[in-house]
Structure 1
Amino acid sequence: MPLDAITFDLDDTLWHNGPVMAHAEPTHYQWLAEQIDAHRGADATPLAEAFPLEAYQSIRASLMARFPLSRGDHSWIRERAMRELLTEHGLSSDEAAQWAAAGFEQFMALRHEVALYPEVVPMFDAWARRYRLGIITNGNVDVRRLSLDHHFDVIILAGEMHASKPDPRPFLSAVAQLGTQPYRALHVGDNWEEDVMAAQRLGMHAVWIDAKDEGERELPPRVHRVTHVRELPEVVARLDEQTR
């Protein structure tokens, strides 16, 4: 039977995410440090001096170890890390919570400054008339901020489910909500284990976006390799022919 559903990863599948995070990570923390320093006054130790960016990152790593079920919930980890850091810096619990929320919103604004590959929107415009479409991501991008949500029937943030990919649960949830069966669904992603093998083990078809050009390898059944999302329509058309 032909395909009737396609699910997608986001980061490094629909856009190049490295530059986005390289900008967002230091920029939002610099913003937070400037706000806190102004709030506490000139006599207080600057936040970046007491807690450089590396300290903030270390607190996030510690939280992931302390709360393993929440390690994939990047939004919770980031905001909780800022709260703990600011409390240790001398702010009250209420102040720390307020400024952590503001710092997280600053990060999220920067996090969504993505440049979609130019082929993405026309591809979705065409496929929305033919397939049911979904998102399965370990990240915390809010697709509604990208004006893409109208293309998708299902959006799953796996980390918030406490079931980050390659856990099968987000895939099974997507397939069920899309009203299909794994063998009639295709998942597209850049991560070999989290996207490709996780979907393939459930009986789904999978397309590996080999964005890093790791090279040809022996592919298991139902797995296809491309180097860019622009190659997807040809693969999908071929799969539709093969599965009729």
Structure 2
Amino acid sequence: MKTPTATPPSTAASAVVELDVSRIRAVTLDLDDTLWPIWPTIARAENVLQAWLAEYAPATAALCATPGALREVRNHMNTTRPDLAHDMSALRRESIRLVLQRAGDDPALAEPAFEVFFAERQRVELFADALPALAFLSSRFPVVAVSNGNADVHRVGLGAHFRAALSAREFGVGKPDPRIFHAAAEAAGVSPAQVLHIGDDAHLDGVGALNAGMQAAWLNREGQPWSHGPQQPHTTVADLLALCRQLG
């Protein structure tokens, strides 16, 4: 098991604070790259989608295999559909629809094609510390998932550990906007000051939680330096079980 990453030493320009376990009444938790690695999951889902397209929309499959084609489609969607910026499902579905149209296949195939991708996207491979940490946390606190992605904690098989789950797609804004953190605190039945937020992304999770008035635990599996301003997370750990030990 990895040992906790040391908090950077205090300087005159830093606002180093310590975790106050006594005021934690609820936990909010990121999903992607906190409980499982996301990019292997996405790569596998894209491979399954490509195999499906090869059978049902071969012209689209050929276009998708063209170097740079999918990147261009994603860039086009990001530019032309900023309204979908916080809805990963809709962005993926409409990207599939666009490439179907460009290839001359039936754009109605976007719906079943997306479902193939989405089903595989829910088949995650958890980090070794994820289940024991979830069992520990959910036995002591209400736990609320807060994600900018489109994982479904119930389809993933972890729903029993969560009081609620908030996604940017459903809520309308994502991390680091304080509003989604405040909504998560409300779902847990506590004030933001009584919440410990746990996540791997220093900006989205760490800075977002701090700005929302929560305590922040930065899950820093790779030992990266904190480079997001003088205000620092209340604790930095290399794995979730190290955090559980701090919470006692």
> In the alignment, does 2:221 pair up with 1:200?
no
CA distance in 2, matches of 1:17, 1:194: 16
Matches within 5 A, 1:177-216: 177-215=187-225
SS state at 2:149 partner: coil
Which deviates the most, 75-84 or 47-56? 47-56
Query: 1:124, CA displacement in angstroms?
Result: 2.4
CA distance in 1, matches of 2:44, 2:65: 16
Which deviates the most, 53-62 or 163-172? 53-62
**Identical pairs, percent:** 31
Q: Is the 8 A contact 2:53 2:61 kept in 1?
A: no
- Out of 53, 58, 62, which is 1:32 matched to? 53
Aligned to 2:86: 72
Which deviates the most, 51-60 or 17-26? 51-60
Matches within 5 A, 1:1-244: 2-37=23-58, 46-52=59-65, 54-91=68-105, 95-97=106-108, 99-215=109-225, 220=231, 223-237=234-248
Query: 1:184, CA displacement in angstroms?
Result: 0.7
Give the aligned residue type for 1:17.
I
Aligned to 2:12: none
Q: Is the 8 A contact 1:12 1:211 kept in 2?
A: no
Query: 1:162, CA displacement in angstroms?
Result: 2.8
TM norm structure 2: 0.82
What is the RMSD of the two structures over their aligned residues, measured on CA atoms? 2.1
Distance 1:32 1:160, change over 3 A: farther
Give the aligned residue type for 1:56.
L
Give the aligned residue type for 2:36.
W
CA distance in 2, matches of 1:187, 1:142: 19
Gaps of 5+ in 2: 1-21
SS state at 1:165 partner: coil
Aligned to 1:242: none
Query: 1:61, CA displacement in angstroms?
Result: 2.5
CA distance in 1, matches of 2:126, 2:188: 24
Query: 1:220, CA displacement in angstroms?
Result: 3.0
Distance 1:115 1:31, change over 3 A: same
SS state at 1:77 partner: helix
Aligned to 2:15: none
Q: Is the 8 A contact 2:136 2:244 kept in 1?
A: no
Aligned length: 225
Distance 1:220 1:234, change over 3 A: farther
Gaps of 5+ in 1: 38-45, 238-244
Distance 1:181 1:10, change over 3 A: same
CA distance in 2, matches of 1:169, 1:199: 10
CA distance in 2, matches of 1:19, 1:117: 12
Aligned to 1:41: none
CA distance in 1, matches of 2:188, 2:243: 20
TM norm structure 1: 0.83
Query: 1:175, CA displacement in angstroms?
Result: 0.8
Distance 1:118 1:219, change over 3 A: farther
